Every structure is written in structure tokens, then in C-alpha cells.
């Protein structure tokens, strides 16, 4: 595709979903704004957030402790304000979803309940390019249960010469070797390659093999359409600081399928917020269980951290994931076509699958013999294009549909072309 700025602007003018870029703070560049493709690492701040959080600060100043019951959004049950919209975001039912903690904490809490190794079934199946935190988490869980992480954790690799792990290969592995797998824990969208796995098919294969299917949706939530309940996913966890734009280190979410939420046999760690709200302040020494995902909570919700997630979820409800996903496909396909031209003649390639059904928003460009950290810095400093490097050899570009435009894609491709020409 020939790099044509006028065409890019025309695509933006005629797009079925007008950009909501004006509702976000975009880093400045020169006399204008940057082209921000790092939303898969940290999303942009909504302009409405300062006032939204300010309401909580004002209520704290005005009410003190009485804000738990009398605040504009009473703090005592604040997490319940997020339940319905979070469930819609991931395709769950309200009783299956809770917003709490951080992603890796939630992974561990879920594995307390769902990684129950036996002498015959003890392995955890992950992708070889799992995000390091996931790798650390599953290895530590295996060791905690007395297993050697090097043998208990099975790392699936792509086919020789390929960068993305195919869903069919995961299904085939489970069909042949699944009898020793206790837990499948994969990234819905791989952080490195940008591939979207077939969550439904892999979950089904895990169950047929007798394993539990858990999913890390850090790069999937707010990026692709999810139907966790319908797909019979056992559990999932995700963060909210990437595509959900809720701020650095913001609260995460968890999903537990309804077939598990009321199971008294499931072990779990417990805390004050694990018990029924109606009896919580009786200060009793034992938990009165609730038959929802709330029973995996431990502590009362951090209001100032929860408010940005609430605002984010309201924005996603306003637009809807189907419309966002459709625009994501348009933007990423446009950028993919631009990269086809840019990368010709260079030792570089897009390793993200071209098929839109196998990818989310992110496109990963792999470069040989290139310092991707320095190249990413030059994109930002010399051209106002924010992307991010993933060592050893990938630069990731995420055309997030809420605020990235076709013109931004043109800017990114033009900038990369200029730098590759030297």
C-alpha cells in the first residue's frame, strides 16, 4: 500500500466509529500530539478522570468515615458498581466477575483453588513466550506444591520458523499428552507476538483432557470480544492499565465460572471481604460464604484505585466491544498493509498473524540485528510515535481504537520507513 496521508485522513473522516481521541490526554509532540501506539503497555488517561476521582476525594474530605455509606458512590459496596459492566466486557455473568487486586495476585488466588496437582496429573501448560510474571507465578506454584518447576511446567513453542503458537497445536498437544496436565494457563492474546488464541477450542480441549482451563487476559480484555461464560472457561484474570486505560498499576479483574463459584469443596484464601456483606460487621470469626466471585476477595476495595476502573468500564459500555473490535480490525489491517511496503528490502517482518481472527490490536515487528530499544526511542523522539520494545528483537504497535487513528498509522509507518532507510 502506498503511503498516502490524504487517504489516511479520508479513512478517519468516513470511519463508522468516530475516534474518541479528544476524551484522552495524548502526549504532546511539537505543536501537536504524538501518535500513541503503546496502549497495550499503558493506556492513556481519560480527561474525565481527574473530576471522577475528585468526587471521592471531596467525599472523604466532607464525610470522613461516613463516606462508606453516604458518599456519592458509597464506598462499602463500591466494587459492586463495577460488576455488571466488567461482566459485559469479558462475556461473563455478574456473579462470575469481581474487580480486585493486581493481575499476578489474582493468578495466584485462582491457582490456590484450581491448581490441585495429583501424583498422576501435576503439570501446568503455558506458552514458551508467556509473559515473565506468568512464568514466575506458575513455577512458584509448582514448587510450592513440591514439584520441580522444570518438569511440572510445560512450555509449548511455535512450529520451527514460526513466531506465533497455533491454537491447533495446543489442542493437538492436549489430545495426546493431556492426561498429565492439571492446569492450562495461556495468554488470550500473546504479549510478544500479538496472536489471539482460540480460547473456546483450547478450553474445550483442556476439559476433554481432564484439565482446568485458566486464562490470562491482560492483552485481551478491552481488546477483543470475549464470551468466557459461553466458552466454559473455568477462570480468568486480567489487568486494567492497558486497553482499559485505568492507570499504571490499576486494579485487576477475575472471572470464575458459575459451575465453580458455589462449590464448597474449592479451597481458597479468605479475608474480610470474602464473607457475606449483610453479616460482615458482626465481626464473626468464620466466613459466611457467598456464591459469587466475591468470595475470592480478601480486603475492602481501594476506592481511589477503583474509581478509574469504574470510569473506564462506563466508557466501554458507551461504545461496546463489537464496535471497538470492528474498528480495531480496520486500523490494524491498514497498518499491516502499510508495513508490507515499509519492510520490503529490510531484515524485518510482522510476526503477528495476518488473519484478523488470530490477532487483537497489536502488531509486532521483528527486526534482525537492530537495537529495538534505541529504534523505539528514535521513533518517539524524532517522530512523536510511541511504540514499545520487547527484547530481544520486537517493536510492538497497538492501534487502540478508542484514540488511535488511520492518520496515526500512516505516521507510524512513515516514521519506521525513514528510520529503516537510515
- For residue 256, what pLDDT band results from cuts at 50, 70 and 90? very high
Give the relative orientation of helices 303-319 and 321-342 as an angle to the nearest 10 degrees. 80
Strands of 97-240 (E only): list them.
97-100, 123-127, 153-156, 181-187, 212-216, 235-238
Q: Identify the CA nearest to 363 among candidates 230, 219, 241.
A: 219
Q: How far apart are CA 219 and CA 196, in angstroms?
A: 9
- Beta carbons within 8 Å of 205's beta carbon, 6+ residues apart: 170, 171, 174, 175, 178
Task: Tell me, yes or no, whether 216 and 363 share the same domain.
Answer: no
Task: Tell me, yes or no, whether 40 and 82 share the same domain.
Answer: no
Domain boundary among 268, 296, 318: 318
- For residue 4, what pLDDT band results from cuts at 50, 70 and 90? confident
The grid cell for 150 is 522444570
Instruction: State mean pLDDT over 18-34.
Output: 97
Task: Tell me, yes or no, whether 269 and 160 share the same domain.
Answer: yes
Instruction: State mean pLDDT over 282-298.
Output: 93
Q: What is the pLDDT of residue 43?
A: 98
Task: Tell me, yes or no, whether 336 and 362 share the same domain.
Answer: yes
Q: What is the pLDDT of residue 269?
A: 96
**Predicted TM-score of the model (pTM):** 0.97
Q: How far apart are CA 215 and CA 138, in angstroms?
A: 12
Decide if pLDDT at 2 tops 80.
Answer: no
Look at the block and give the residue holding cell 486464562.
215
Number of Cβ within a 10 Å radius of residue 240: 30
> Does the residue 361 lie in any domain?
yes
Instruction: State mean pLDDT over 9-14.
Output: 96
CATH of the domain at 328: 3.90.1150.10
Task: Tell me, yes or no, whether 308 and 370 share the same domain.
Answer: no
Mean pLDDT for all residues in the chain: 97
β 212-216/235-238 pair status: parallel
3-state secondary structure of 353: coil
Task: Tell me, yes or no, whether 93 and 222 share the same domain.
Answer: yes
Instruction: Print the domain residue range for 140.
Output: 77-318
CATH of the domain at 278: 3.40.640.10
Q: How far apart are CA 251 and CA 303, in angstroms?
A: 10
Domain boundary among 318, 346, 372: 318
Q: What is the pLDDT of residue 351?
A: 98
Q: How far apart are CA 58 and CA 52, in angstroms?
A: 10
3-state secondary structure of 360: coil
Q: What is the pLDDT of residue 136?
A: 98
Instruction: State mean pLDDT over 186-191.
Output: 98
Q: How far apart are CA 404 and CA 36, in angstroms?
A: 7
> Does the residue 210 lie in any domain?
yes
User: How far is the CA of 236 from the CAs of 21, 80, 118, in angstroms?
Assistant: 30, 19, 22
Task: Tell me, yes or no, whether 332 and 195 share the same domain.
Answer: no
- For residue 289, what pLDDT band results from cuts at 50, 70 and 90? confident
Q: How far apart are CA 272 and CA 264, in angstroms?
A: 18
Task: Tell me, yes or no, whether 340 and 241 share the same domain.
Answer: no
- Rg (alpha carbons) of the chain, rounded to whole number: 22
259 membership: H or E segment, kind and range: helix 258-261
Task: Tell me, yes or no, whether 210 and 117 share the same domain.
Answer: yes
Residues above pLDDT 90, as percent of the chain: 97
Q: What is the pLDDT of residue 279?
A: 87
- For residue 50, what pLDDT band results from cuts at 50, 70 and 90? very high
Q: What is the pLDDT of residue 340?
A: 95
| pLDDT tens per residue, range 293-339 | 999 999 999 999 999 999 999 999 999 999 999 999 999 999 999 99
> Does the residue 312 lie in any domain?
yes
Enter the DSSP assignment of 405.
Answer: -
Instruction: State mean pLDDT over 229-252.
Output: 98
Q: What is the pLDDT of residue 385?
A: 98
Instruction: State mean pLDDT over 249-274.
Output: 95
Instruction: State mean pLDDT over 261-265.
Output: 92
The residue ranking higher by pLDDT, 361 or 280, is 361
Task: Tell me, yes or no, whether 389 and 242 share the same domain.
Answer: no
Q: How far apart are CA 116 and CA 119, in angstroms?
A: 10
> Does the residue 70 lie in any domain?
no
> Does the residue 336 lie in any domain?
yes
> Does the residue 53 lie in any domain?
no
| pLDDT tens per residue, range 355-408 | 999 999 999 999 999 999 999 999 999 999 999 999 999 999 999 999 999 999
> Does the residue 62 lie in any domain?
no
Q: Considering its fold, how many domains does the chain have in total?
A: 2
The grid cell for 9 is 485522513
Phi, psi angle pair for 255, to nearest 5°: -125, 135
Decide if pLDDT at 84 tops 80.
Answer: yes
Q: Identify the CA nearest to 187 among candidates 100, 127, 240.
A: 127
313 membership: H or E segment, kind and range: helix 303-319
Task: Tell me, yes or no, whether 388 and 291 share the same domain.
Answer: no
| pLDDT tens per residue, range 337-352 | 999 999 999 999 999 9
Instruction: State mean pLDDT over 67-87.
Output: 97
- For residue 422, what pLDDT band results from cuts at 50, 70 and 90? confident
Domain boundary among 301, 318, 335: 318
Contact 279, 288 (CB under 8 A): yes
- Indicate the length of the chain as a whole number: 422
Q: How far apart are CA 289 and CA 274, in angstroms?
A: 7
Asked if omega into 192 is within 30° of 0 (cis), the reply is no
Task: Tell me, yes or no, whether 221 and 360 share the same domain.
Answer: no
Decide if pLDDT at 1 tops 80.
Answer: no
Q: How far apart are CA 418 and CA 414, in angstroms?
A: 6
- Beta carbons within 8 Å of 243's beta carbon, 6+ residues apart: 39, 40, 43, 219, 221, 222, 223, 361, 400
User: How far is the CA of 33 from the CAs of 17, 29, 47, 60, 381, in angstroms?
Assistant: 21, 5, 15, 35, 12
Decide if pLDDT at 3 tops 70.
Answer: no
> Does the residue 61 lie in any domain?
no
Residues above pLDDT 70, as percent of the chain: 99
Decide if pLDDT at 158 tops 90.
Answer: yes
Instruction: State mean pLDDT over 415-421.
Output: 96
For residues 159-193, one letter each, b for 16 or more C-beta atoms within 10 angstroms of the residue's C-beta and e for the rest, the string is eeeebbbbbeebbebbeeebebbbbbbbbbbbbbb
Amino acid at each position: 500500500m502506498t503511503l498516502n496521508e490524504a487517504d489516511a485522513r479520508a479513512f478517519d473522516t468516513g470511519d463508522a466509529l468516530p475516534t474518541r481521541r479528544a476524551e484522552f490526554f495524548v502526549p504532546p509532540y511539537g505543536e501537536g500530539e504524538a501518535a500513541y501506539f503503546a496502549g497495550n503497555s499503558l493506556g492513556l488517561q481519560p480527561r474525565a478522570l481527574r473530576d471522577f476521582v475528585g468526587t471521592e476525594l471531596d467525599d472523604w474530605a466532607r464525610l470522613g468515615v461516613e463516606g462508606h455509606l453516604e458518599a456519592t458512590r458509597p464506598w462499602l459496596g463500591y466494587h459492586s458498581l463495577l460488576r455488571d459492566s466488567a461482566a459485559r466486557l469479558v462475556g461473563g455473568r455478574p456473579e462470575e466477575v469481581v474487580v480486585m487486586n493486581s493481575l499476578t495476585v489474582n493468578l495466584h488466588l485462582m491457582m490456590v483453588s484450581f491448581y490441585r496437582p495429583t501424583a498422576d496429573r501435576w503439570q501446568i501448560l503455558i506458552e514458551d513466550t508467556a509473559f515473565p510474571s506468568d512464568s514466575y507465578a506458575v513455577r512458584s506454584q509448582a514448587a510450592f506444591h513440591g514439584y520441580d518447576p522444570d518438569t511440572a511446567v510445560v512450555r509449548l513453542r511455535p512450529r520451527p520458523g514460526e513466531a506465533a503458537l497455533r491454537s491447533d497445536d495446543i489442542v493437538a498437544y492436549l489430545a495426546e499428552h493431556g492426561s498429565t496436565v492439571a492446569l492450562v494457563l495461556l495468554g488470550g492474546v500473546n504479549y510478544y507476538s500479538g496472536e489471539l488464541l482460540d480460547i473456546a477450542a483450547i478450553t474445550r480441549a483442556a476439559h476433554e483432557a481432564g484439565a482446568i482451563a485458566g486464562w490470562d487476559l491482560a492483552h485481551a480484555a478491552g481488546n477483543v470480544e470475549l464470551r468466557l461464560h459461553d466458552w466454559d472457561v473455568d477462570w480468568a484474570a486480567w489487568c486494567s492499565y492497558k486497553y482499559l486505560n485505568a492507570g499504571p498499576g490499576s486494579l485487576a479483574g477475575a472471572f470464575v465460572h458459575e459451575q465453580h463459584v458455589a462449590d464448597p469443596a474449592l479451597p481458597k484464601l479468605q479475608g474480610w471481604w470474602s464473607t457475606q456483606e449483610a453479616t460482615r460487621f458482626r465481626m464473626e470469626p468464620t466466613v459466611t460464604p457467598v456464591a459469587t466471585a466475591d468470595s475470592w476477595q480478601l480486603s475492602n476495595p481501594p476506592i481511589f484505585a477503583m474509581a478509574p476502573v469504574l470510569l473506564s468500564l462506563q466508557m466501554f459500555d458507551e461504545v461496546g466491544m463489537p464496535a471497538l473490535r470492528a474498528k480495531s480490525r480496520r486500523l490494524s489491517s491498514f497498518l499491516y498493509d502499510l508495513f508490507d511496503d515499509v519492510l520490503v528490502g529490510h531484515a524485518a517482518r510482522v510476526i503477528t498473524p495476518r488473519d484478523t481472527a488470530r490477532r487483537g490490536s497489536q502488531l509486532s515487528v521483528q527486526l534482525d540485528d537492530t537495537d529495538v530499544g534505541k529504534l523505539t526511542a528514535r521513533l518517539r523522539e524524532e517522530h512523536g510515535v510511541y511504540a514499545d520494545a520487547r527484547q530481544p528483537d520486537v517493536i510492538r504497535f497497538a492501534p487502540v481504537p478508542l484514540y488511535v487513528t488511520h492518520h496515526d498509522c500512516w505516521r507510524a509507518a512513515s516514521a519506521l520507513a525513514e528510520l529503516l532507510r537510515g
